[in-house]
Amino acid sequence: MAIPQIEIKSQVIKSSTKAIETVCNDIFAKKTVPTCKKCGEQHWPFHPCAGREKNETNESREQPVSGIILKTIPSPAEKFTPTCKMCGKKHWPLDPSCTGNKRTKAEAKMAKAEAKAERRAKAEAERKARAEAKARAKAERKAKAEAKAHARAEREAKAEIERIARAEAEEKTRAYCEALARAEEKANTEARARAKAEEKAQAEAEKRARVEAEAQEKVKSYAEQITKVKAEAAEMIAKSRAEAAETIAAVKSESEERARAYADSITGAEARFRAETEERAGTYATAIKEAEARVEAEARLRAEAEREAQSEAKTRAEAEEKTRAYCEALARAEEKANTEA
């Protein structure tokens, strides 16, 4: 009874393996967890579930083999779940929950990355150490050079300050001496100018006294002359007034005659001017009408010329468009002929 049972189990396992491989390939391609047809839950194949145990119990009741009904009893070996050597957990092969292979690869990759990072860090540390040593040596040389330059600059600055102070002192002394000499010269000049001004003021005072005396004499003489002139002027004014009255009377009569003659001449001139003005106004009105007629004619001619120019431009544009279209058609025909040839 054991041999038929083993053969049946091997056939079932082979067919199940092919089906499982197909299902697994589809599942891995879709990356979804399948739904078990035995228990109705989502899990991977070969997962121990209640539906599997129920199915195994039903299968173990009666199985026909060559017309013989075999009664099988489930053994403890059928419920065995292997232990994974990668992750150390119990599951069937190809179970995606296994992290052993992934963990091993990740650990190897991490170890490789750590080694590479360690080598890189070591090389970087050595490079930094060499760079720091080089920079330190360069900084020491620079500090020594700067110290020497600073000392030299201090000596030069001190010497320059002393030279400037000495030059300033000499310049101040020379300026003081020059200012003192100028002050003495100015005092002497002012004394001479004061003496000269006093002499000039005394001379002007004497001259002013002489001028005042002469002016008083002249004023006295001028007063006498003015009195004499006033008397002569009064006499001349009286005589002139009499002559002026006579002249005014004669001029008045002559002016009246001239005014009458001028009024007559103005009346005649106004009549002539009025006639000439009316004649000129008629001439101007005729000329204005003729000018307005010429302007209207020129406006009409200009409008007709603009319309003709627009029509000519439109005709020229249409001709250019037709010429361009003809040239394009000719070019396409030549290109087509060349292509066919």
Q: Is residue 209 part of a domain?
A: no
The domain of 8 spans: 2-95
pLDDT in tens, 277-312: 777 777 767 777 777 777 787 778 878 878 888 888
Q: Is residue 36 part of a domain?
A: yes
Token pair listed for 48 = 């121990």
Q: What is the pLDDT of residue 242?
A: 72
Q: Is residue 198 part of a domain?
A: no
- C-alpha distances in Å from residue 323, one per residue of 136, 327, 333: 84, 6, 15
- The DSSP call for residue 69 is E
Token pair listed for 151 = 């000392």
Between 125 and 261, whose confidence is greater?
125
Q: Is residue 191 part of a domain?
A: no
**C-alpha–C-alpha distance, residues 56 and 255, integer Å:** 166
* Model confidence, pTM: 0.21
Q: What is the pLDDT of residue 296?
A: 81
Token pair listed for 180 = 């003192």
Q: What is the pLDDT of residue 1?
A: 41
Q: Is residue 168 part of a domain?
A: no
Sequence letter at residue 249: A
Q: Is residue 40 part of a domain?
A: yes
Closest CA to 187 of 270, 195, 216, 213: 195
Terminal-to-terminal C-alpha distance of the chain: 90
Q: Indicate whether 70 pLDDT > 70.
A: no
pLDDT in tens, 171-214: 888 888 888 888 888 888 888 888 888 888 788 778 777 777 77
State which of 48-52, 70-74, 275-279 shows the largest mean pLDDT. Answer: 275-279
* Tokens 């003015």, located at residue: 226
Q: Is residue 332 part of a domain?
A: no
Q: Say how many domains are in the chain.
A: 1
Backbone dihedral region for residue 249 (phi beyond 0: left; psi -120 to 50: alpha; all else: beta): alpha
Token pair listed for 108 = 């190897």
Q: Is residue 74 part of a domain?
A: yes
- C-alpha distances in Å from residue 141, one per residue of 130, 134, 145, 341: 16, 11, 6, 84
